[in-house]
Amino acid sequence: MLDPESEPPCPERPDPPAPEDAAVRAYYDDLAARYDEVRFTRSSYGQYLDRLERVALARALAAARPGPVLDLACGTGRLLDLATHGLDASESMLTRARARWPDKPLVAADAERTPFEDRSFEAVLCLHLLMHLGRSKIARVLRECRRILRPGGRLVLDFPSALRRRLRGPPPRGWHGATALSPEELMALSGPGFELVGVDGLMLLPVHRLPAWLRLPLLPLDRLLCRGPLARLASFQLVELRARTCGS
Ligand SMILES: C[S@@+](CC[C@H](N)C(=O)[O-])C[C@H]1O[C@@H](n2cnc3c(N)ncnc32)[C@H](O)[C@@H]1O
């Protein structure tokens, strides 16, 4: 698998054309059996990212009211301990998630057309999905999130940082997880249905360039650096949005 973080910088190029939904789904159908191992359990880079995400997610979700939580694009269920429901476009990813979380309702659907009723959830978390989508699709997914969230509910999502992308150069050709954004661009795509609550940076240190044994010990430093103005330079931006109540 191509790791966009392992590529050397090269001159700035705009985002590549939006990937086809079917191509992304096929990619994950094919990767499903190896996803956890390749991306997380056997990768010190993945373990590092998983820990950073959990700290940031816990902070963001602490503000949500108790109630149903959807993991949108739940994949193999890595983060389903934080959610009551899951959804993913890839049946093969869901097969793994169902084996892991047999008691949770997990549905196969596209993130822009979910089967849930209006105002079903107090929170939606959505990790590592937007990078796979073109901008118009991201806008449709955000609209769908607004529909299924209760007023005041939280949407917590992440995307690669556009600022870091400008400094480092684009990911390798052929990698379809190539959409990078700034929080301002995300808000422009979200329309008036959401307000921005907070932005957290994830992975400021160039972890892929550090020896594996040094990565986890440096994690607290990464968290510390990401609390200040350097957050925008981190690899990923984790953004917390609040669904506006009517008229707010
Ligand atoms: C990188 S994985 C992330 C999985 C999980 N959120 C995590 O962080 O481990 C991306 C997931 O998005 C799913 N996905 C891609 N496009 C989707 C879409 N349009 N609607 C729903 N899920 C989609 C893929 O099937 C895959 O499981």
Average pLDDT over residues 68-80: 98
Pocket test for ligand 1, best of 1, 5, 28 (most atoms within 8 A of CB): 28
Pair of tokens at residue 194: 């959401």
Contact between residue 90 and residue 29 where contact means Cβ atoms under 8 Å apart:
yes
Q: Among candidates 50, 62, 94, which has minimal Cα distance to 219?
A: 50
Beta-sheet strands, E only, within 43-128: 69-72, 85-88, 106-108, 121-126
What is the distance in A from the centroid of ligand 1 to the CA of 130?
A: 9
* Domain extent listing, the chain: 15-243
Looking at residue 13, its pLDDT comes to 40
Q: So what's the pLDDT on residue 18?
A: 59
Distance, first Cα to last Cα, the chain: 45
Lowest average pLDDT, out of 91-100, 182-191, 215-224, goes to 215-224
Q: How far is the CA of 247 from the centre of ligand 1 (A)?
A: 33
Distances (CA, A) of 233 to 51, 102, 137: 19, 39, 25
**Span 15-243: which CATH code?**
3.40.50.150
Q: pLDDT above 90 covers what percent of the chain? A: 65
- Residues in the ligand 1 pocket, defined by CB under 6 Å: 21, 24-25, 28, 73-75, 78-79, 88-90, 93, 110-111, 127-129, 132
Query: 61 near 47, Cβ under 8 Å?
Result: no
55 CB-near residues (< 8 Å, 6+ apart): 223
* pLDDT average, residue stretch 102-122: 98
Residue 229 has pLDDT above 90, yes or no: no
Element (H or E) spanning 156, and its range? strand 149-160
Lowest-confidence region among 53-57, 75-79, 91-95, 228-232: 228-232
**What's the CA-to-centroid distance between 159 and ligand 1, angstroms?**
13
2 pLDDT more than 60: no
Of the ranges 10-14, 26-30, 53-57, 91-95, which one carries the lowest mean pLDDT score? 10-14
Residue 24 Cα to ligand 1 midpoint, Å, equals 9
- Looking at every residue in the chain, the average pLDDT score rounds to 88
Q: Is the model more confident about 204 or about 9?
A: 204
- Quote the ligand 1 centre to 72 CA distance (angstroms): 8
Tell me which of 52 and 2 has the higher pLDDT: 52
Give the mutation target among 39, 132, 138, 158 for probing the ligand 1 site: most ligand atoms within 8 A of CB: 132
Phi, psi of 152 (to 5 degrees): 85, -10
**DSSP code, position 187:** H
**pLDDT (0 to 100) of residue 247:** 54
